[in-house]
Chain A
């Protein structure tokens, strides 16, 4: 079973790469957007830090630079567009073909996402150096925190993809999933540490963020890789990632089963 699955992933990855190669210019434009966003946040927060005498709740200019450079990497590694895609896939009837295959459709979607990530690495690396040149960062990483950070990013990807895919399945019930997607993305941006390090947010927002899955997708891998977490905080973070991953897996399984059952197979 595992051998079959790895063969399917390899084949799907080849196909997805072939497709992505057709859209090189589009990929580059998307990536420019991805680099611009942290750049905007960096300009804003370094200005705030300067106005406050160089520090906002423990984050100086160079700390913000390091945070947002790492944010760009973590976001690129974990983000998915699957919810927006399924809105169309289901309405257009393309979902039928995914259902007819003797394999769960999520595997093709994961492989597709990974193919995009593989291709955009060549743009991401120079973007990291470009931002580091514009805003010199402070990095204090240790070997253990970087190693753990890589695992945290993998878990964060799995967690976010599982949540996104579960939400994508809402399109099986309603044709108004765009509103749901928008709400979810805004919540994620605000409570994950994407918009700003959670340490600069009010305490009550930090408390809410601790109990939701979002910070374990973005802020945790960033802070861990930058060496800002203690071993205890790291263990807690992994625990929370695994907990939410388990919850998301159960939700996905339930939503998938119920969704397919009531799927009205629109389109022909």
Chain B
């Protein structure tokens, strides 16, 4: 039975944001009379992540994902609630805590631009007090998994975005953290680089039984890595459970794809369901989940079908459905 490594209980973060109306007069008034508005970035969020689990933390921009990750990695003090990571209270920022976690933020750099990544790696080795043997092993492992090769000896500013991200991830993992907070680690990367980083995260999780909380707007990342997802919107948890359940719960539709033996003419497919795509030999329909069997039966009986597939809608579509809801059903 895996132990919970990350625990959040009613964790909340409220920002106090100054605000004023537009215009010079409003600007002058704000000099003497400042107005503030409270923004609940994270509102009584509770969930746990077990040791070795990879959990997708999903939500639209401004949902509270990054704020939550910042609290869990010790960058932010919460306004209320409880948060524990490996039995540490993150925002106390104890050295022993910081040595066993990492936070990777896509498109933000911890590596120094002017020098090769290997120089920054060496500095991290000393700061994290990684024993030389372990450092050599880890670096060799990361070089192999991320295909770093000659990249580490070039000044970081001369690397491409994908190459830089690989070096960033290596720098963040040289101390072999047990808990990884990955905030959009594949953002801005091309498809090949995304896949490479995804494979790496999976492999790192397997090899070291690391606990990973991952945010990503790329559903391919989530589908490839996370059995479980936590969905947050307006600072509140909307869903916490297996990815498959998310689809079941939030998608009231199925997608039926039909291929025909020969060209079919003058058929009104809208009598079967909503037409998503249509060509001479193929039609894709969206139908209510409860009608799926009935519609499939009709299609097989009434049309010269050579192949019929019934699928859940793409995960992006399901996520959109989830975000469209204000509170959990």
CB-contacts of A90-124 with B (<8 A)? 93-94, 96-97, 99-103
- Cβ of B119 under 8 Å from chain A: yes
A267–B106 Cα gap in the complex (Å)? 12
Size bracket, chain A contacts? 20 to 34
B114 touches A22 (CB 8 A): yes
Set of chain A residues within 8 Å of B108, measured between Cβ atoms: 93-94, 96-97, 267-268
CB within 8 Å: A-B pair count: 80
Closest-by-CB residue of A relative to B101 is A100
How would residues 1 to 35 of chain A score, 1 for a CB under 8 Å from any chain B CB and 0 otherwise?
00010011011101100110011000000000000
A15 touches B119 (CB 8 A): yes
A10–B125 Cα gap in the complex (Å)? 12
How would residues 213 to 255 of chain B score, 1 for a CB under 8 Å from any chain A CB and 0 otherwise?
0000000000000000000000000000000000000000000
Number of interface residues of B (CB under 8 A): 34
- Cβ of A265 under 8 Å from chain B: yes
A12 touches B123 (CB 8 A): yes
Closest-by-CB residue of A relative to B157 is A22
Name, among A7, A11, A23, the residue most crowded by chain B CB atoms within 10 Å (CB to CB).
Answer: A11
How would residues 29 to 71 of chain A score, 1 for a CB under 8 Å from any chain B CB and 0 otherwise?
0000000000000000000000000000000000000000000
Set of chain B residues within 8 Å of A14, measured between Cβ atoms: 119, 122-123
Set of chain B residues within 8 Å of A19, measured between Cβ atoms: 112, 114-115
A4–B77 Cα gap in the complex (Å)? 28
Which listed residue, A10, A94, A96, A103, touches B75 by the CB 8 Å rule? A96
CB-contacts of B102-149 with A (<8 A)? 102-103, 105, 108, 110, 112, 114-115, 119-120, 122-123, 125-129
A99 touches B126 (CB 8 A): no
**Stretch of B51-59, B66-74, B314-322 with 4 or more beta carbons under 8 angstroms from chain A:** B66-74
- Cβ of A264 under 8 Å from chain B: yes
CB-contacts of B191-218 with A (<8 A)? none
B66 touches A268 (CB 8 A): yes
- Cβ of B95 under 8 Å from chain A: yes
A14–B115 Cα gap in the complex (Å)? 11
Closest-by-CB residue of A relative to B107 is A268
A7–B125 Cα gap in the complex (Å)? 11
A263–B73 Cα gap in the complex (Å)? 14
**Which 4 A-B residue pairs are closest in the complex by CB-CB distance?**
A102-B98, A11-B126, A97-B110, A102-B95
A residues near B (Cβ < 8 Å) are: 4, 7-8, 10-12, 14-15, 18-19, 22-23, 93-94, 96-97, 99-103, 260-265, 267-268
- Of the A-B pairs whose beta carbons lie under 8 Å apart in the complex, a sample of 28, sorted by A's number, is A11-B126, A11-B127, A14-B122, A15-B122, A15-B123, A18-B114, A19-B112, A19-B115, A22-B114, A22-B115, A93-B108, A96-B103, A96-B108, A99-B93, A100-B98, A101-B127, A101-B128, A102-B98, A102-B128, A103-B95, A260-B93, A263-B75, A263-B77, A264-B76, A265-B75, A265-B76, A268-B66, A268-B108
